Structure 1
Amino acid sequence: MRTFHHNQIFDPSGGFHASSAKRTMTGQSMNIWEMFTRESLQNSWDARDRVSAEDGVTFAVDYDVIEGAELEILRSVILGDDFIGVPALESQIEQGTVPLLTVSDTGTVGLRGPSNATSATTGHTEFTSFVRNIGRSEQKELAGGTYGFGKAVFFIASRVDTVMVYTRTVDENDQAVHRFITMALTDGYQDGSVNHTGRHWWGVEAEATTETGSVTYAEPFTGELADRCATAMGMDRYFSEERPTGTAISVIAPDLADTETSLRNIARSLTRWAWPHMVTTEPDLDPIEFHVNLRGSRIGIPEPQDDPALRSFVQTYERALSMQPSESEEWRESLVYRTTRVFTGRPRKKELGRLSVKTLVAPVDERDTVVGKTIESEIALIRNPRMIVEYWKGPADITGEPYCGVFLADDSADRVFARSEPAAHHEWNHESIQNEKGILEEFWGSDSRNNPVKIFFEHMRLLLKRSVRKNIGRGDDRHFAAATDIARGLGDYLANSVGGVDTRVRTPRRASGGGGRRKSRAGLPGTDVRLVDLRRTEGGQITAIFDIGIDADDDVYPVQLKATPVIRTDGSDVRFEDVEDAGVDFPVFERWEVISGNPQSSASFTDSSLMLTEPASRIRASVIQPADCAITLYVDIVQTDGETEAAQR
């Protein structure tokens, strides 16, 4: 069988220049390899097998070099030694080696449906949508993509404008089929008196009859021939009994400046845009197994939880998913998190999605995160494909504190946000849908000129400017921000400019806190905790030293002391369990020092709990104090009968 090269010519009624599809994508503001990663992953996610959420999806990017016998299969079997209109492809093969960058997904449905674009069907048409057509119908279900131009990134990524496609799927009759076809998008050209579109396919010669006459075109290789070509090109490595269907797309001669660096950037890009798929948060979503390989050697994919910025985004994402239903845009707050739902408000109240925000200790520098930008007021915008659309920069908090967060679009608004995206799907632009009457009517349930995406950004800015701290927002916000800066400046002078220890006397608390010296009550011991020293170690750490006095009769012993360091704020004292997931440096108990009645004997203990069997002449506790933070110490006193008294300073 001889391979047929379909070099498309313009129909008398006109046609589509192949280069115009590529210009649609090269005109985007995003880097080509960022678009490549996002588009390929989004295609794979859209194609996941939705029968079960347990089998999972494999998504892999592999770089290989074809030579020798495999190169001969590429030249003679796959391309049939026909390179007319694609001179760069011929030149690459003549060099004796051909690099391939293959994107594979398994556990997906593959490119289903008929292979002939003229076949009218109400069923699946993924094969013709990817291989034959450019653009997409308004009637098609919206998943990740909306334009149908995104596949052009595969051709842009190739120095020779050519890709190979292998899919294990079902045809229009739901019969299993394996298909292999090669495609190119080049500049159009003239061959004598004939104009060519620049679109090419290599496969099996076929003929179809239409209302305008007979047309010769290229059908894909199928069956054993398709499998043999895929094996030679390394395109079948991820299929298995558990994940038997899917698609592999090989970019011939990928335009990589430095191969290893580029693959590492692709791995980072996967984490940057797809981290919601790397964390276990939604049990009804297929898990994705990610791979990036350089000639068989694994390239590490950064873990979101190890990234200083993404760790916080993941935490806000988890809180957004767990939010309870609400009918208002009222913040619900905890120590460092706040959540709310975002509504339109006009012309009628419609939910747009969930917003979750975390206050950061400090901005995260772009050099320390795969996000690629400094994180100080960024919100990750996410819709149903569970990929990051963009890290949108929100307004500054009036306190000057940095923050990050996640907005998760509501299902009812997903189509609106999807249609507002450009071809690269990297932002939401309200101007893109202002004339989309059908989309707007669908969202509002009636005719309306109001733009929900524009309303969304207006509400987001107002919500993020609105502080949730009590008594903030009265008067001029600028005055409050200035007062905050002054307070920070004064705080720098406390404790040798590394934080501070609160020395204010507070009202004693029964059973959970107190302060100052007091006599025993009904046989319980009185306590007194005082800061006596701040010491700087050779390594620059600050250690706070507290004296603990116990005012008690001898017959109350033995008693147990329990030391609990906390962070002191104006509003409350913060315990470790309040911030253990927030990445905040916390004071650490270091040791007890106990000097008995005999001046010659003393002991040090590193456990935060201490049992005293008799009175001691002096008890001290040392606490390691984090920089830029005021601390205090709680000491719980527990008698053997379980009664408790506490002191704090």
Structure 2
Amino acid sequence: MTAQWWSQPVAAEGSTASEGIRRQLGKPHLDPLTVLIRETAQNTCDAALPGGGDVEFAVRLHRLSGNRLAGWREFLLPEPAGSALGIAEAMNRGPLLMTLSDRGTTGLGGPLRADESPREGERPDFVNFIRNVGERKAVDLGGGSYGFGKGILYNVSRCHLIVADSVCMFRGRLQRRLIGAALGDGFTHGGRRWTGRHWLGVLEDGHTRPLLDDEAEEMAGKLGLPRFAEGATGTSVAIVDVDLGRRQGQDGDAVRTPEEAADFIVSTMLWNLWPRMLSDRPNRLVCSMRRDGFVNEVPDPEQLIELSPFVKAYRALAEEGRYQVPPRKSEPREIGRFAVVKGMAPLRPNPAVAAAAPFEGRAHHCARMRHADLVVDYFKGETPTDEMIQYGAVFRSSPEADGFFAEAEPPTHDDWVVNGLRGTARGVVQLATGFIRDRLREQSTPAAGPVPSGEAPLASLAGRLSGLMTAEGDLAEGSVRREPSGGGRRSSGGPRFVTAPHLVQENGVPVIFGVVQMPSWASTRVVVAEPVIVLDSGVEPVDGRTDGPVVLGWRSVESDPPVDGAELVIERPSDRTWELRVRPSADAVVRVNLTVRELGGDG
């Protein structure tokens, strides 16, 4: 069937203005791309299928051209009469398309019409996402509330236009649904007033329904939308003519390039979604980012020095004796759990992490979150007096108190605000805020404590070597660029730590151990591990020091023979994953730099 636009007229009794929906988010202090990723990932997590399987959350960014552009032009044009959405102008300039997809989720199920009541056990996800505004989500302990956050999808489109493509289980069978929706400005046309809301689909009974099943699949193919595996459910939302926003840098306020936007999105995923990305949790969130075919790798949060203390504090919430609970005499008695972990601060910013970091420099913050395990914000605490130290804390609300914290959140879910709260809700949120502030204040000075005698030598050494044990995943000189190659990925950059170096004992002797992943170089390279001593004034090479750290050698994870010493020759057939072993210094903080040179070259 031919898709057509249908515009909503203002009803005699009044209607919700389109501009009002777009402005429900107010003026958040967060970057629009950060709000976008937070809101869409939250919807993804709330829609996870039961059973605990992995949930995929993928962002794709590419510029429309050729047959794909022709397909979009045919689908979207002509635009609604009098709407002034600017779709034709966007198609003429070859717009950027951003697609946000999830799999392992329920999809947008339930009735197609907002005036139809869902059946017993049915979630009205389709009408809540496409039609309604302000309906409470039917998800226990979910991250969202009334669905105002979806306005960000329209706000970052210069046309205020999205296309949703979903596969859901509907009344005993799989159903595919594809529909366009726009939130433009209100206008007058043909002697009538219009709300500015528009839907693109099949005209039926005076309204627009989505394209269904075969017709939806055919249109999705023409538009190049992400595919669905056989029997899979989930949703893809395409944002037409996406505005990537502006960045702040040394050259001032400038429009983001697609490459910069991709890096920013990866960083946003790490800082906001890491509790859902941990490998051993149910419904783990598997995030990915592609830009015009290039893969932007999303690192493991547990291997990043910037996030390591937060991850460890989060894990401590499940270990008796490692967390604290704000005391409360009345119900709910347990409003949440708090834990804090100290670690070595990074020596320099990691570009893959810093792009969307919620604070500058080393961590001295508490990641606050509700029971849905999505970060609300990073509550700032006292700065440690030792410049080499950082700490990360986590406060997670209890199931019993989760609803009170939800009441305290603005539409962007990025704060807990007591203004306007009353009774128990106000008391719970105030107690949590004060408790977190007091606990963070205690972290400003180092606390001394006894070490069990049997662990003293290794524990003491571990403390002095913590900078290496929570390594930054150092790259060799140069940046990493990823290019498409046969549908896969090829890295032209340097090696990286995939397992953060940590202290182990081999025959009673302490050894620093880490796993390094090598790129697929086209020619033979030499990788050199160079340990340095970290001082307050900087770093010092180990040359000439008899008590300095020593690289013991490299050991292949696969089949290549082990190599003694600091240098490792990587030929094209060589294994790509190697274990690096370093004998630590007796009394110093150590870092290991990985450098690369051509065989026979100087570096």
TM over 0.5: yes
Q: Is the 8 A contact 2:166 2:233 kept in 1?
A: yes
- Structure 2 SS opposite 1:431: coil
Alpha-carbon distance in structure 2 between the residues aligned to 1:90 and 1:67:
14
Where does residue 382 of structure 1 map in the other structure?
A: 369
**Is it true that 1:228 corresponds to 2:218 in the alignment?**
yes
Distance 1:366 1:60, change over 3 A: same
Structure-1 separation of matches of 2:149 and 2:511:
56
Q: Equivalences for 1:193-272 in 2 at 5 Å?
A: 193-207=191-205, 216-237=206-227, 239-241=228-230, 244-256=232-244, 257-272=256-271
Amino acid at match of 1:134: V
Q: 1:461 aligns with which of 437, 440, 443?
A: 437
| 1:512-532 alpha-carbon deviations (Å, 9 max, x no partner) | 89xxxxxxxxxxxxxxxxxxx
Q: Which runs of 5+ in 1 are unaligned?
A: 208-215, 325-331, 333-338, 444-449, 474-510, 514-563, 591-605, 609-621, 630-649
The aligned runs of 1:368-407 (5 Å cut-off) are: 369-370=353-354, 371-373=357-359, 374-395=361-382, 402-407=390-395
Any gaps of 5 or more consecutive residues in structure 2? 245-255, 472-500, 504-508, 513-549, 553-582, 591-603
| 1:625-644 aligned within 5 A | 625-627=586-588
**Is contact 2:111-2:126 (8 Å) kept?**
yes
CA distance in 1, matches of 2:92, 2:445: 69
| 1:287 CA displacement | 2.3
Which residue of 2 is the match for residue 358 of structure 1?
341
The 1:86/1:161 distance shift into structure 2, 3 A limit, reads same
**Residue 286 in structure 1 maps to residue 286 in structure 2:** no
Residues 468 and 375 of structure 1: is their aligned pair in 2 closer, same or farther, counting only changes over 3 Å? Answer: closer
Map residues 471-620 of structure 1 onto 2, 5 A cutoff.
Answer: none
| Alpha-carbon separation, structure 2, partners of 1:278 and 1:116 | 35
Counterpart CA distance in 2 for 1:380 and 1:311 is 12
- Cα deviations across residues 314-363 of structure 1 (Å, max 9, x unaligned)? 12222222x22xxxxxxx5xxxxxx3332342445610222111123447
* Gap change, CA 1:115 and 1:194, over 3 Å in 2: same
Which of 272, 295, 299 lines up with 1:298 in the alignment? 295
- Indicate which of 317, 320, 325 corresponds to 2:317: 320
Cα distance, 1:195 vs. partner? 1.2
Residue 148 of structure 2 is matched in structure 1 by 149
Distance 2:125 2:44 in 1: 12
Kindly tell me: are residues 403 and 203 of structure 1, through their superposed partners in 2, closer, same or farther at Cα, counting changes over 3 Å? same
2:585 corresponds, among 609, 616, 624, to 624
Match of 1:163 in 2: 162
Cα 1:364–1:46, aligned 2, differ >3 Å: closer, same or farther? farther
- Are residue 429 (structure 1) and residue 417 (structure 2) matched? yes
Distance across 1 between alignment mates of 2:141 and 2:467? 40
Tell me how large the CA RMSD over aligned residues is: 3.6
Structure-1 separation of matches of 2:308 and 2:431: 29
Q: Secondary structure at the match of 1:340?
A: coil
Any conservation in 1 of the 2:382–2:444 contact (CA below 8 Å)?
Answer: no
Alignment partner of 2:185: what SS? coil
Measured in 1, the distance between the counterparts of 2:417 and 2:139 equals: 22
Q: Distance in 2 between matches of 1:467 and 1:201?
A: 54
- Mapped partners of 1:574, 1:53: distance in 2: 36
Indicate the structure (1 or 2) with the bigger Cα radius of gyration.
1
Equivalent position SS for 1:37? helix
CA distance, structure 1, for counterparts of residue 66 and residue 445 of structure 2: 69
Q: What TM-score does the superposition give when structure 1 sets the normalisation length?
A: 0.65
Q: Distance in 2 between matches of 1:585 and 1:138?
A: 44
Task: Quote how far apart the aligned CAs of 1:33 are.
Answer: 0.1
Distance change in 2, residues 1:89/1:197 (3 Å): same
* Cα deviations by residue, 1:618-646 (Å, 9 ceiling, x for unpaired): xxxx98344479xxxxxxxxxxxxxxxxx
For 2:218 and 2:437, locate their aligned partners in 1 and report how far apart those are by CA, in whole Å: 56
Distance 1:470 1:263 in 2: 39
SS at match of 1:293: strand
Contact 1:78 1:203 in 2 (8 A): no
Deviations 1:218-250 (A, max 9, x none): 11111211111111222233x213x61110000
Kept in 2: contact 1:25–1:424 (CA 8 A)? yes
Show the 5 A alignment for 1:116-131: 116-121=113-118, 122=120, 123-131=122-130
Measured in 2, the distance between the counterparts of 1:429 and 1:575 equals 38
Distance between the aligned counterparts of 1:405 and 1:290, measured in 2? Answer: 24
| Whole-Å separation in 1 of the counterparts to 2:91 and 2:446 | 69
Letter of the 1:190 counterpart = T
> 1:402-453: per-residue Cα shift (whole Å, max 9, x none)?
4221122211122221221111111122225x14x6xx4xx7xxxxxx5200
Q: Deviations 1:576-612 (Å, cap 9, x if unpaired)?
A: 999996669989799xxxxxxxxxxxxxxx999xxxx
Residues 12-45 of structure 1 show CA distances to partners (whole Å, capped at 9, x for unaligned) of: 0001111112122251111100001111111111
Does 1:111 pair with 2:108? yes
User: Residue 148 of structure 2: SS of its match in structure 1?
Assistant: coil
Whether the 8 Å contact between 1:161 and 1:184 is mirrored in structure 2 is: yes
Q: Deviations over 1:545-601 (max 9, x none)?
A: xxxxxxxxxxxxxxxxxxx96676xxxx878999996669989799xxxxxxxxxxx
* SS of residue paired to 1:354: strand
Q: Which is worse superposed, 348-357 or 26-35?
A: 348-357
- SS of the equivalent of 2:202 reads strand
Residue 464 (structure 1) shift: 3.5
Which residue does 2:247 correspond to in 1?
A: none
* Equivalent position of 1:47 in the other structure: 47
Q: How many pairs does the alignment contain?
A: 468
Question: Which residue of structure 2 aligns with residue 58 of structure 1?
Answer: 56
Query: For residues 262 and 471 of structure 1, what CA distance do their matches in structure 2 show?
Result: 41
Q: What is aligned with 2:427?
A: 451
2:137–2:147 contact (8 Å) kept in structure 1: no
- State the SS of the aligned residue for 1:204: strand
Change (3 A) 1:280 1:576: farther
Q: Which residue of 2 aligns with 1:180?
A: 178
- Report deviation, 1:307: 2.2
Q: Note the C-alpha offset of 1:162.
A: 0.5
8 A contact 1:379–1:392 mirrored in 2: yes
Q: Which letter maps to 1:451?
A: G
Q: Is this contact kept in 2: 1:379–1:405, CA < 8 A?
A: yes
* C-alpha separation in 2, matches of 1:160 and 1:275: 32
How far did 1:279 drift? 1.9
Query: Are 1:14 and 2:14 counterparts?
Result: yes
280, 299, 304: which one aligns with 1:307: 304
Residues 189, 196 of structure 1: 8 Å contact kept: yes
Secondary structure in structure 2 of the residue aligned to 1:430: coil
> Are the counterparts in 1 of residues 56 and 103 from structure 2 also a CA contact under 8 Å?
yes
Q: Distance in 2 between matches of 1:408 and 1:264?
A: 28
Q: 2:202 & 2:79 partners in 1: Cα distance?
A: 14
Q: Kindly, what percent of the aligned residue pairs are identical? A: 24
Deviation at 1:159, TM superposition (A): 1.1
Deviations 1:276-327 (A, max 9, x none): 2222243xx1123222111222112233234222022112222222x22xxx
Change (3 A) 1:464 1:188: same
Local SS of the residue matching 2:400: helix
Contact 1:104 1:235 in 2 (8 A): no
Q: Summarize deviations over 1:137-171 as a string: whole Å, max 9, x none.
A: 48775511113111111111111111101001133
Of 345, 351, 356 in structure 1, the residue corresponding to residue 328 of structure 2 is 345
Contact 1:344 1:452 (8 Å CA) reproduced: no
Amino acid at match of 1:378: H
| CA-CA distance at 1:375 after TM superposition | 3.2
